[in-house]
A and B are shown apart, each in its own frame.
Chain A
Amino acid sequence: MSTIEKINKPWTLLLLVGVLAGLYTAFRVLFGSHDILAANDNIVWTLPIGSYVFFALISTGMGLLGSLPKLLGIEALKPWARRFTFMAIITLLGAFISITLDLGSIGNMIYIVFSPNPSSPIWWMGMLYSVELVLLTAKFVTEGKAGTPPLLAGAAGAVGIAAVLVLGSVFGMAEARPTYFGAYMPIYTLSMALVSAWATVTLADAIAPLGGSEPSAAVGRVLTATLILGVAVAISRVLMDLANTQAVFDHAGGILPTFGLVVALLIMLPGGSKASRVIRGAAAGITLVSVLTLTMNIIISGQVVPVGPRAEGLPPVLSYTPNTWEVLIFVFSLSSILLMYHLGERYLKLDNE
């Protein structure tokens, strides 16, 4: 009996506990109130939004990876295309769990359709991610049969790119938050989508080799390449923060998670690291934690300096620490994704022929 088979039951149980804890949290939030979260009228978007963005980024990146073999003829990725598409679907569903629990009136969501506002980035984000979910599902189904039509793969890829760019502009177009500085945010989300998606692939491959593939230095080389992109984008933000003269940028931070990405890159640079599944896995883990932390850092940095009358009676700079309920929302999303992956691995044919 392999190690994977031995831990199958405890792992499933652990994930079920995570999902149950999440369901209880959902009950408390949806039928109780949102004041159990650490958010308030100053720090409005907190860990549930960070969790949503993080998983949405992974999903988009994964969706793009799943489309690459068809669109660009990258044969090396072909055996994993269906798996990537599946991972994109389940991480997007996990992201939806987090955002659903952050919304105050989910019953009014019908007005996204019946009272649309095309000038709103959130409206576009909602529409594009919904369309992407449909396209990814169609792609997953067709990949298991005759093969995905190139048009479908192209549409899924294009909608994914549009969705992740709009996700960045949700923050970038917030008039009141100078630290989100406009055009940078879509660049950040698109880059981190690729970085975090490949880090997820690398980590999954390190834990349980994907589709029985042999340890491949190519996985490590791609991780190194995406990390160079991630580090460049993260450092450019730190430099822009440091160079800006507006007082709100004094609290933008972002150095520590950027340092995490640099560490992951340094780990991956030596030639031997790329061939080692353990080192690749460790670097991928550090990368994912850094992307989550950096994303949270960016989201919170725009809110720590109170706006207008909200500053009355408060210190000039606020602090934020997620509370247990918010952590449980993240755990809910993560456990659901991992449980779906676990079940998919067992009951679905995830690898292409």
Chain B
Amino acid sequence: MTTYAMVIDRQKCVGCGACSVACKSENNVPDGIRWSDKISETSGTFPNVRFDYTPTLCNHCEDAPCVRGCPTQAMHKAEGGITMHDPDKCIGCKACMMNCPYGVISYNWTDPFKDWRGKTALIEGCTTAPDEVAPKVGGDVIPYYNPERDATLDGIRPRGVVEKCTFCDHRIKVGKLPRCVDACPSDARVFGDLDDPKSAVSMLLGKYQPTRLKEHLGTGPKIYYIRSFNPGTYIQTKGGLS
């Protein structure tokens, strides 16, 4: 058995967003949709303030509410515990979005990459129309199209269906790490098999006390967070009474 999981080390994460950008290009994610996202929080009162940055993606929950609620099994569990989505079965009821406690499923309200589908040239007889660009460079709809995504899922998902992170299952199948893990410049993302006690994720989870988002719901998220980034110092004190 293999159970894929990701550990995100918040002490190492600098919030550069490289994961999100890499994910968008790897998975041909349309404008307005982010499979790899973030929650940023500012707390405290100036000058005693704190900024927290939590990268987010599909949690590939063990007991996924999106899978339970999907009427056609379009949202389903696949090899390695990955929560996958089949656009060909999706009726666009959006129940998965209503059921997901993490806000990581998005809906294609319109044709993806609408701007690249335009048929009007900016200057007639001089510039190309947007829809002429992709075929010229071997793309599909978009010039920067990644054909590798096609291996396990529609390269670009159609209008009227949902989409979300797949842990880059098409890369895992050929022995590569998810693109966001590869792209992280500070190695804040660690990916591997939770069932293998010698895997990097298992060792990190043993060493640090991990947290998961909304753990109390019992969904069993497979994204674990360890440590937190805090460069602050304070004068040693025992406090006092005013």
Chain A residues close to B by CB (< 8 Å): 33-35, 37, 39-41, 44-45, 102-106, 108-109, 111-112, 115-117, 119-123, 126, 170, 173-177, 302-303, 306-312
Contacts and interface: CB of A to CB of B under 8 A. Distances in A.
Contacts of B18: none
Contact of A104 (B88, B108, B217): B108
For the side of the interface on B, what is the size category? 35 or more
Contacts of B110: 33-35
A111 B73 contact: yes
B27 interface: no
A238 to B, nearest CB: 23
B92 interface: yes
A45 B39 CA distance: 23
B180 interface: no
B69 A173 contact: yes
Contacts of B93: 102-104, 122
Interface of B: 34, 37-40, 56, 65, 68-74, 88-95, 97-104, 106-111, 158-161, 213, 217, 219
A309 B119 CA distance: 34
A120 B93 CA distance: 12
Given A111-B91, A312-B38, A104 B97 contact: no
A312 B99 CA distance: 19
Given A111-B89, A308-B56, 12 more contacts: A41-B106, A44-B97, A106-B92, A108-B72, A108-B74, A108-B91, A117-B73, A173-B99, A176-B99, A307-B101, A309-B56, A312-B39
A326 to B, nearest CB: 13
Nearest to B108: A104
A120 B70 contact: yes
A308 B100 CA distance: 10
Contacts of A41: 97, 106-107
B69 A176 contact: no
A115 B90 CA distance: 11
A292 to B, nearest CB: 20
Given A35-B109, A44-B97, A104-B160, A309 B39 contact: yes
A111 B76 CA distance: 14
Nearest to A125: B71
A22 B94 CA distance: 22
A112 B95 contact: no
A104 B71 contact: no
Given A307-B103, A308-B39, A309-B104, A104 B91 contact: yes
